[in-house]
């Protein structure tokens, strides 16, 4: 979809983003308290927060996807890492290069900010996404563990 524009999210995008966010949560069979969603959205516009978002906008102005990322320090680098946190493309517009454009947007942010690394993870069963990820990134061989109480 060459007519798709990737741009920073705006506060006026909230209603459209919420619809996409809900689709993202449904995809991952998850629910979040409304306060978490509200806080997440507000962080995109708080300059003291290292949380960012961009949206994919179709030629007709409809939002069809989003990407979020956080920056953080690392003990292995001088410049920040970027963790691509969330990536979602509306089901009816998938397989048209929108996900790739969203990832490449974050790569561009990494270049602009001299980030040492851009990385992300996905669920092992998310095979369709992995088809894209192996084209635009590389597996690092790490296995993710987390605190069982989280």
* Contact status, residue 77 vs residue 118, Cβ threshold 8 Å: no
Tokens matching residue 98: 């929108």
* Contact status, residue 105 vs residue 54, Cβ threshold 8 Å: yes
The whole-number pLDDT of residue 1 equals: 59
Q: What is the pLDDT along the chain (150 residues), one digit of tens a residue?
A: 579 999 999 999 999 999 999 999 999 899 999 999 999 999 999 999 999 999 999 999 999 999 999 999 999 999 999 999 999 999 898 888 999 999 999 999 999 999 999 999 988 887 787 878 888 888 888 888 888 876
Task: Give me the domain span that covers residue 121.
Answer: 5-136
* Contact status, residue 23 vs residue 90, Cβ threshold 8 Å: yes
d(CA 93, CA 101): 13
In a domain, 17, yes or no: yes
By residue count, the chain amounts to 150
The whole-number pLDDT of residue 149 equals: 76
Q: What is the CATH number of the domain that holds 71?
A: 3.40.630.30
């Amino acid at each position: 979809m060459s007519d798709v524009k990737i741009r920073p999210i705006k506060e006026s995008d909230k209603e459209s983003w919420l619809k996409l966010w809900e689709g993202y949560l449904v995809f991952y069979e998850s629910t979040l308290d409304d306060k978490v969603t509200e806080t997440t959205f507000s962080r995109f516009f708080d300059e003291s927060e290292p949380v960012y978002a961009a949206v994919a906008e179709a030629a007709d102005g409809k939002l069809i996807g989003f990407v979020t990322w956080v920056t953080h320090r690392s003990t292995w680098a001088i410049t920040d890492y970027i963790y691509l946190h969330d990536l979602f493309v509306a089901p009816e517009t998938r397989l048209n290069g929108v996900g790739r454009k969203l990832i490449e947007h974050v790569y561009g942010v990494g270049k602009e900010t001299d980030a040492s690394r851009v990385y992300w993870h996905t669920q092992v069963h998310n095979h369709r996404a992995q088809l894209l990820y192996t084209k635009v990134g590389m597996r690092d061989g790490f296995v993710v563990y987390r605190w069982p109480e989280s």
